[in-house]
Chains A and B, each alone.
Chain A
Amino acid sequence: MHLVIIGNGIAGVTCAQTLRRLRPEARITLVSAESAHHFSRPALMYLYMGHLRWPDVKPFEDWYWPENRLELVHDQATGLDVAGKRVLLARHPPLAYDALLLATGARTRYYDWPGQHLQGVQGLVTKADVERMSQATQGVRQAVVVGGGLIGVELAEMLRARRLEVTMLVRDQHYWGSVLPPEEAALVDEQLRRHGVRVRYATELAEVLGDAAGRVRAVRTAADEELPCQWLGVATGVVPNLDLTAGTAIETDRGILVDELLQTSVPGIYAAGDCAQRRNPPPGEAAIEPLWYTGRMQGETVAHTIGGQPTPYRRGPWFNSAKFFDLEYQTYGQVPAGPVEGQSSFWWQHPSAPLGLRLHYRTGGEQALLGLNALGLRLRHEVCDAWLRAGAPLRTVLEQLGAANFDPEFFPQHEASIVAAYSRQHPDEPPLTLRRRKGLLARMLS
């Protein structure tokens, strides 16, 4: 069997690795125009800031691929011959396949702003993007970033590392308004301020203004304010890459449509990662999940189906993480940005340090845990996952909070003050007792 994978991002590579394990005899070819070898997309920012070099962001050394008989083709896939089961390549002869995985990823979403094609306007998704950004921001004094999400903060941090003046345009009233509750967003806002980023909330981009040379010189906001800048970062999300499926029998919507086995409408052709759109995602799950972790899980799942063990994609409780300048963020399960009928939230925040924890739960009954947000605190994934799968009662979670503490040794522990804060807010409930504390010393003393 010959599996051809278009894209060497995390979804494609995980599929290749998993299939190699399941089917040692299979021939596996990865095609990528972006880079000769797989790299960590979330690490692109560290290249720009000089923390790492290109070899450092490659998860595997170059010998890994031939040793595991994973063939790499560094070329652009220009078209699909679905009937003839062939991939057309720009610089190589067509590649015949028995199974095809489309893991073409996503690209920066633009909102048809006037002037968006000016020089110095770009997003950050690909290796080429970060190289372009590195060139284009040399000698630049002022930059604007449009978009208040994860990539927006990343861009701000990168630019601040090179000491540019940075203004962020955020559409919502607070940072990442579609995902973060206001308390969490306030802690992120504090980071942005502390690191010298100017943030304009409730502000939208209207137009990009250029100079005579065709370079961006300023942006105009929807409130008709002009902000001078010589570089504009676009961080308003990503859209699936659909170039390859255009004109083929493969059905698409916003992304490449797949069933729960991640199969497209054409037998033998699959899609996974940022480019895939599930036809019928379970309630509460997004149809398109443009995320490193879900790309990995989809890649692994689809490899089972391709290898002859049809496996539906079930990702289990959601999780994600990020770092906003110096503030680490972890989330598990579902924590909505605003109030939801029948659900409640408990938020704890340290009086002075940038630390916060939110426990989101179902109101009434057992008060089953629905999700957690942690800022500046590290939580143990396995413990949170088990609580969420079991729908652990809030009181149990609070009493066992120490079990989820993943902070390094000698870090101050906050479980006692978290539980005390909960008890203060709920004086009518019976008192809580901390039953699990973290650490060797605690275990020895208990």
Chain B
Amino acid sequence: MSFLAAYSDQPLAHPTPEPSAAERLWLALVALGLLALGVAALAPAGLRDTAFWLGLGLLSAGALGWSWRKFGGSRGVRHNFLWSRASTSRGAVAWAAGVALTGFYVVLYWWPAYLENLIRPLDGLSQLLRGRAADQWFLYGSFYTLAVLLMGGRALLKYRHSPYQRVRTASVMFFQLGLAWLLPGVLLALQQPEFYFTYFWPLKYDYLFPGGVQSLLQNGHLGAFMVGWGIIMSFVATPVLTYFFGKRWYCSWVCGCGGLAETAGDPYRHLSDKRREAWRYEVSIVYTVLGFIVVTTALLWLNAARGGALLGRFSDEFAQTYGFFIGSIFAGVVGVGFYPILGSRVWCRYGCPMAAYLGLLQKHFSRFRITTNGGQCISCGNCSNVCEMGIDVKQYAQRGEPIIRAACVGCGLCSTACPRGVLNLENGPREGRYQPSQLIHADSLRILS
């Protein structure tokens, strides 16, 4: 199994220092919180709500307190023992976390009945926000948002020496809480469609499928606005914003999947596969998904124009099949469940059609690039290590070349982690965008084919 080869090289053998007593105290709160949630999931109704809210409280306090202990000291990049701690280097803790996360997704998608005890305590909140009882998707959305907020707090502390990271982290927290949790809930309460203004075709493909458009249009002016919003965001705003800022305006500033990756996934960003082989898989899979969505959308509209003569009920079946394989298994189970093993951007890198679309725009029609600062690179590899998209950033930096890659989501961590100030995210003029530095004579050897 050649893909395991990259995982076999361990860091220098040494015992990882034990967490301090204070750190352990906060981590104990997290553990107690998880335990209480476990009790809530199985407890009789009387105990259920208390255990649930106590669990969330302990979990939140523990996570924030631990982040403050760990990163609240002096400011700077803190990556000590990243590759030797079991939790962040595919050790037993990481596998346990991966199994637990994956298990949660499996139960959520296929056996939601078992989550009943976790859903019911949210009824009150759901009534307040959405004017209806909670269901498993409200539970999921709430947990998701909580994860983005708590781990966003951690990211804000960890990267507080970088204004770019502060602003960007605040942005993903805002969009998740405001536009992906509160607003869709409020829309539901107002008897309007549960519309997510931050997801667009081709990621939210059904927003521009004939069926999706028709059902939105049944909701009067607001529905028409939503359809218009979807069309404009996909075909006007996306190219324009990507032209000026690169795909980062969406992937690492707005998108909820990206938001979770940048916050909850931050401890695992270095686990992405940097090898050329992985890049080949990425290119062959992600553009296939995009092509599939584009062709399907076109066929469905053709079908609709012909009054269903072409495909019949294919539309429904497609939505189910694609939703199952891509939406559930790829984006959820593998994409998030495998965070602690494969890194935080597996879905974004290999599966997301929106990322593929934005990537094509970024590569060919954008002012964005990551500039390499002259000849200052020392090939240390910190930039490649922190790249969640698996880009081997140093291949470009050590040759003095700007980094222009379809995959780059512009999280800026390569620039933050670089010990020599070599990398900078810039939106410059397109002239000379690929021009390497004159201060290092990049050899023309084939490094990346």
Contact = CB atoms under 8 A, between A and B. Distances in A.
A391 to B, nearest CB: 18
Nearest to A332: B374
Contacts of B424: 378, 406-408
Nearest to A409: B164
Given A63-B276, A406-B373, A42 B445 contact: no
Interface in B426-449: 427, 437-441, 443-447
A292 interface: yes
Contact of B164 (A54, A293, A411): A411
Interface stretch (A14-22, A101-109, A226-234, A246-254): A14-22
Interface in A345-391: 378-382, 385
Nearest to B374: A381
B25 interface: no
A279 interface: no
B9 A55 contact: yes
A194 B276 contact: no
Contact of A330 (B77, B376, B398): B376
A224 B239 CA distance: 71
A201 interface: no
Interface in A109-138: 130-131, 134, 138
A46 B438 contact: no
Interface in B383-421: 384-385, 394, 398, 412, 415-416, 419-421
- What range describes how many residues of A lie at the interface? 35 or more
Nearest to B84: A50
A408 B423 CA distance: 8
B309 interface: no
A52 interface: yes
B10 A20 contact: no
B74 to A, nearest CB: 6
A56 B445 CA distance: 20
Contacts of B438: 382
B298 interface: no
B307 interface: no
A300 B14 contact: no
A162 interface: yes
A314 to B, nearest CB: 13
A382 B164 contact: no
A300 B437 CA distance: 15
A130 B13 CA distance: 11
B12 A161 contact: no
Nearest to A293: B375
A57 B76 CA distance: 21
Q: Which of A53, A297, A323, A410 is most buried by chain B, counting CB atoms within 10 A of its CB? A: A53
28 contacts: A20-B445, A40-B380, A40-B381, A42-B379, A43-B381, A46-B380, A47-B11, A50-B81, A50-B83, A52-B380, A53-B10, A55-B9, A59-B379, A67-B446, A68-B446, A162-B14, A194-B74, A296-B440, A316-B439, A321-B420, A326-B161, A379-B421, A382-B374, A382-B439, A407-B424, A408-B412, A409-B163, A410-B164
